[in-house]
Amino acid sequence: GDRGVVLAFDQRWDERGAGTGAAVWESTERLATYIASSGAASALRAHPMRLLGKKEGDDGDDDDDDDDDATATTWWTGKRVVELGAGLGLASTVAAAVGASAYCTDGDAKVVAMCAANAAKNAAAVKGAVKGGGEVTPARLRWGDAKDEAAAVAWLSPAPAADVVLLADVVYGEHPDAWDALAGTLAKLSGPRTVAMLSHTRRGNGRGQRAFFDALETRGFETKVVERWRGDEDGGLSSL
């Protein structure tokens, strides 16, 4: 973004037992860039409670969009953010660099340790990015695990829910129980004003994605696509 902050991340594709979380994936880069460049303004505008103040029916213009970008970037200051399936924590770290406090979670203990090392490496850059600085708190959170969810809720306290929940490249393959557990965890961390941002690259037949969105719908979530792009990895369609 315009802040001139340089972040460095160690990836270990060959880390034994760490799985997919040991690398930074394209959708994570997209989400991080989206937050850094515009404060995710279009996602905030799409929220049914109009977090940026745009009224229903307003078409806006380019100048309004520029103003929204500036407003959105400052909007993150002081916000409470939870990332689910964070891997190495790039999106959480960028959210912290624009002023948020981020609870950066993954279900794999080895990946959480790698995330913690990256958070420590980037802590000075994050603190220096904005006045007061944000912070990243790495933690293990297994979707559907009551104790892990309770720890996340305790971290959010006294706030009743997260301001933003970040998810990137977490839905792939056909694992309906996992996607239902993910939706349940997301619901426990969310309130009426929570914005959940999912950056996703479609892989395979897309059944996992459909199962996840069905699980969200049954829990009362409203979903909107705010960005689409052609993926770099295999040409697949990606969206946020």
List per-residue pLDDT tens for the chain, 240 residues long: 455 678 888 777 665 556 666 667 788 888 999 898 888 888 888 887 767 665 444 555 555 555 666 788 789 999 999 999 999 999 999 999 999 999 999 999 999 999 999 999 999 999 888 776 689 999 999 999 999 999 999 999 999 999 999 999 888 777 889 999 999 999 999 999 999 999 987 766 667 788 888 999 999 999 888 887 765 555 455 666
Q: How many helices (H) and strands (E) does the chain have?
A: 8, 7
Tell me the H-state helices in the chain: 26-38, 41-46, 62-75, 90-97, 109-129, 146-156, 176-189, 207-218
The 10 Å Cβ neighbour count of residue 193 is 14
Dihedral (Cα; 94, 97, 101, 106), 10-degree rounding: 30
> 108 in a domain, yes or no?
yes
> 10 in a domain, yes or no?
no
CA distances, 1 to each of 70, 78, 157 (Å): 12, 19, 30
pLDDT of residue 192: 93
> 14 in a domain, yes or no?
no
170, with CB counted inside 10 A (0-12, 13-18, 19+), is buried
> 74 in a domain, yes or no?
no
CB 59 within 8 A of CB 143: no
> 197 in a domain, yes or no?
yes
> 69 in a domain, yes or no?
no
pLDDT of residue 54: 55
pLDDT of residue 44: 86
> 86 in a domain, yes or no?
yes
CATH number at residue 48: 3.40.50.150
> 61 in a domain, yes or no?
no
> What is the Cα Rg of the chain in Å?
17
| Residue range of the domain that includes 175 | 21-52+79-239
Domains: count for the chain: 1
How far apart CA 208 and CA 177 sit, in angstroms, is: 10
